[in-house]
């Protein structure tokens, strides 16, 4: 693709039609989580133990408060109405309505999904999507996975995977493909293809679910409910009609959001089942408890698997429905089921399904052909396409009103009195109804600030507008704290993630500028002002000693150090961190570059560029010089950066752990060429004054390179000799360089573990011995 020349595929035309994400082509998408159980949002217990309060076994029976989950799920922008698949092989003990995995107390490394599913294709407008799930024909070994992993955990053995159970032996499994294609923004055709990979015919039940998120059962007054009921039938189809008209509009929106009637068409022969998306209170709390409604969330499981005829509603209406489709799939054969979800009645609704899917798939081919680099091989094109599909499938609506969560919905049923002391008590302003890019919709179905920042340059390859929106979301007032802090993740919004947001803003701005030929200065400027608040928060909060060395805490690298960096240290100790300080040096340089870009049209920004250049120098110098301290982070003998634990009496201990923590300072790098800075007279004068008058601190972190009569000032915390020394370690197979990329912890620690008191960190290839934190996880 040529710079400044936008391709004009059909998908690019759809992207250009954007009218906001609550209408138009983006209104419907894969915004459904793959796991809502075990999340902080759904935890209303007294101990903050989200996994224990709401486990997988409860999920089929308890209505979610903050968002739904499902297999290959899609929903509208605010998740009023959800469509997802459920499966039954006629042998499993429960319906396969959601993906299963182990919680941290059961697995050997935190959250661990025990299923095999694949994101095969997706377009930015979700006009075409394809998903694959490998469904065993033998009974799914829920208990076996839990018990064997617990046994191995106690004995230090390797992780026990689903493949290890033998459940896929002899290819006795189904490949279940789900494909979606949009006829228009409000009209979606669906095809479910089930391939029997095994040597014998096998039964399958496919139960597409259509249901309303429960928005009515919370609070002290009864609210009207939406309804789904049976619609018209034809020679080759049956239908369901979902209508949100009777329900109240969603709260916290400046407009009345309505879907209107939605028609789900399924093939004739489907058995339509009805219930309500309500909690089964007797199952969860005992026979004394009463459910709000007689027909509850787990009705289809009880009807289909347990044969309980009275579990489903005879009134043939409710807030949760499904179409039960059954087939015996021949050995090595396949069956297909076709559906259509649309905003209007349609005659002969299923006749166009295959044609529309074929057309949208061809448009996806055209779109990605315009994206792939010239000269990419077929394998490289497939890898890039599926990677980008994975990013698009990982968009999820994140519903969370922290103030309401802390106080509770209903004064008659208040949350535990200690709730404000558990987590997030200082984040009452955070109120999300946004579609966000998730680290993983099962293992991490909540946004994480630095993960999202790294997602955006990838998303900008295919959808720059989405990338810019994602970056802005964490900076606008319903997310960013009034203090300037950017929320980390729901387990503790006050934890610190690396300050990479400015890097992502600058990167996405330039990608978009090069692609379109139009710099989006409004985006850059509004982000810059909010990033100034974030920078001030870091300087005032995280540099407690005021010496330009930072104690960033968690920072995402808790898994390669000897202590839990999120927890306070005893005896008033402070951990001065190489990575936190290195990240801040990079933050300074990112903001300097943004300020210079903005100064092209507003000279007032030159002063801010000067401020961040000088602040970078102070940060870099503090890492290598003692200054007012009796220690430094740079170790001249080892040629490496280490964290330093300092005590109130002035004593200190250097944590000689060679890990990514010590490599992060290399990220703080920038170059200033004479021809670049010449137009900025004030900045240039300030630069040269500082270089001349602050030589003692400048000489180690700003290096002058002359080439072809031009000077370049290279900002780097290490000089050439130190850089080469660090790179020797990085490229040494006995240290950081593995056959598969860089290790996060040097292999040196395999035989030289670092010990601190009774704690130890050593090199652990592949699986870690620690379930959540520690080792080379």
- Directed axis angle between helix 521-541 and helix 464-473, to 10°? 30
| Contacts (Cβ under 8 Å, ≥6 apart) of 459 | 391, 437, 466, 467, 470
**What's the DSSP call for residue 155?**
H
Query: Quick one: CATH architecture of 10-393?
Result: Distorted Sandwich (2.70)
Q: How confident is the model at residue 561 (pLDDT cuts 50, 70, 90)?
A: low
pLDDT in tens, 183-230: 999 999 999 999 999 999 999 999 999 999 999 999 888 899 999 999
Cβ 312 vs Cβ 269: under 8 Å: no
Q: Which pTM value belongs to this model?
A: 0.94
* Range of weakest confidence among 22-31, 472-481, 520-529, 759-768: 759-768
**Domain segments of the chain: what residues?**
10-393
- What is the arithmetic mean of pLDDT over 70-82? 99
158: number of Cβ within 10 Å: 11
Structure-block tokens of residue 89: 């092989």
Q: Which residues pair with 205 in a beta bridge?
A: 88, 326
Structure-block tokens of residue 293: 């409604």
Structure-block tokens of residue 35: 């796991």
| Half-sphere exposure at residue 686, Cβ-oriented, CA atoms within 13 angstroms | 15
- Cβ burial of 245 (10 Å; 0-12, 13-18, 19+) is exposed
pLDDT in tens, 497-517: 899 999 999 999 999 999 999
pLDDT for the residue 313: 98
Q: How confident is the model at residue 572 (pLDDT cuts 50, 70, 90)?
A: confident
pLDDT in tens, 191-201: 999 999 999 99
Percentage of the chain lying above the pLDDT 90 cut: 76
């Amino acid at each position: 693709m040529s710079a400044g020349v936008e391709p004009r595929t059909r998908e690019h035309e759809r992207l250009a039609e954007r009218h906001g994400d609550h209408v138009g082509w983006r209104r419907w998408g894969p915004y459904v989580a793959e796991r809502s159980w075990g999340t902080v949002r759904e935890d209303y217990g007294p101990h903050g133990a989200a996994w224990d309060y709401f486990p997988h076994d409860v999920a089929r029976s308890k209505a979610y408060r903050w968002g739904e989950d499902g297999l290959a799920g899609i929903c509208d922008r605010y998740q009023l109405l959800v469509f997802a698949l459920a499966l039954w092989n006629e042998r499993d003990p429960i319906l396969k309505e959601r993906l299963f995995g182990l919680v941290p107390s059961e697995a050997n490394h935190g959250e661990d999904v025990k299923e095999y599913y694949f994101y095969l294709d997706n377009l930015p407008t979700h006009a075409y999507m394809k998903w694959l799930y490998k469904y065993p024909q033998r009974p799914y070994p829920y208990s076996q996975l839990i018990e064997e992993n617990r046994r191995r955990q106690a004995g230090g053995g390797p992780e026990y995977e689903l493949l290890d159970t033998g459940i896929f032996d002899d290819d006795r499994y189904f490949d279940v493909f789900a494909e979606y294609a949009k006829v228009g923004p409000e009209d979606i055709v669906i095809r479910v293809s089930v391939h029997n990979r095994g040597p014998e015919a096998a039964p399958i039940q496919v139960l597409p679910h259509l249901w309303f998120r429960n928005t009515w059962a919370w609070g002290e007054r009864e609210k009207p409910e939406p309804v789904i009921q049976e619609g018209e039938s034809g020679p080759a189809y049956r239908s369901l009609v979902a209508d949100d008209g009777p329900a109240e509009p969603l709260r916290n929106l400046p407009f009345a959001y309505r879907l209107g009637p939605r028609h789900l068409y399924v093939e004739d022969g489907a058995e339509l089942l009805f219930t309500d998306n309500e909690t089964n209170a007797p199952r969860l709390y005992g026979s004394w408890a009463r459910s709000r409604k007689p027909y509850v969330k787990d009705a289809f499981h009880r009807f289909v698997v347990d044969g309980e005829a009275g579990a489903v509603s005879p009134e043939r209406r409710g807030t949760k429905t499904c179409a039960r489709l059954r087939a015996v799939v021949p050995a090595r054969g396949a069956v297909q089921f076709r559906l259509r979800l649309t905003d209007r009645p349609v005659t002969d609704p299923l006749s166009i399904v295959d044609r529309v899917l074929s057309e949208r798939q061809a448009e996806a081919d055209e779109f990605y052909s315009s994206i792939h680099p010239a000269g990419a091989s077929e394998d490289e094109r497939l890898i890039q396409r599926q990677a980008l599909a994975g990013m698009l499938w990982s968009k999820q609506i994140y519903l969370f009103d922290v103030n309401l969560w802390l106080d509770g919905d209903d004064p008659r049923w208040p949350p535990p009195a200690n709730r404000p002391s558990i987590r997030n008590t200082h984040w009452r302003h955070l109120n999300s109804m946004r579609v966000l890019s998730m680290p993983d919709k099962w293992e991490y179905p909540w946004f994480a600030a630095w993960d999202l920042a790294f997602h955006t340059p990838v998303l900008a390859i295919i959808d720059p507008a989405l990338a810019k929106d994602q970056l802005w979301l964490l900076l606008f007032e319903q997310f960013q704290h009034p203090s300037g802090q950017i929320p980390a993740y729901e387990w503790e919004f006050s934890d610190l993630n690396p300050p990479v947001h400015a890097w992502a803003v600058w990167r996405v701005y330039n990608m978009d500028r090069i692609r379109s030929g139009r710099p989006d200065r409004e985006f850059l400027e509004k982000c810059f002002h909010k990033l100034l608040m974030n920078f001030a928060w870091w300087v005032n909060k995280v540099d407690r000693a005021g010496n330009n060395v930072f104690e960033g805490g968690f920072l995402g690298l808790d898994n390669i150090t000897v202590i839990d960096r999120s927890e306070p240290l005893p005896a008033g100790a402070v951990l001065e961190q190489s990575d936190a300080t290195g990240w801040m040096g990079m933050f300074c340089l990112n903001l300097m570059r943004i300020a210079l870009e903005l100064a092209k049209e507003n000279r007032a920004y030159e002063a801010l560029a000067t401020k961040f250049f000088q602040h970078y120098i102070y940060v870099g110098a503090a890492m290598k010089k003692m200054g007012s301290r009796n220690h430094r982070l740079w170790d001249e003998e080892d040629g490496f950066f280490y964290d330093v634990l300092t005590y109130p009496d002035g004593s200190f201990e250097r944590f000689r752990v060679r890990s990514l923590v010590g490599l992060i300072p290399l990220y703080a790098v920038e170059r200033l060429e004479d021809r670049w800075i010449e137009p900025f007279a004030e900045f240039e004068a300030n630069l040269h004054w500082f270089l001349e008058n602050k030589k003692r601190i400048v000489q180690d972190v700003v290096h002058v390179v002359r080439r072809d009569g031009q000077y370049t000032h290279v900002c780097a915390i290490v000089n050439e000799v130190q850089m080469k020394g660090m790179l020797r370690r990085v490229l040494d197979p006995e240290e950081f360089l593995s056959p598969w990329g860089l290790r996060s912890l040097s292999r040196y620690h395999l035989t030289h573990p670092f010990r601190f008191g009774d704690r130890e960190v050593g090199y652990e290839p592949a699986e870690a011995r620690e379930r959540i934190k520690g080792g080379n996880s």
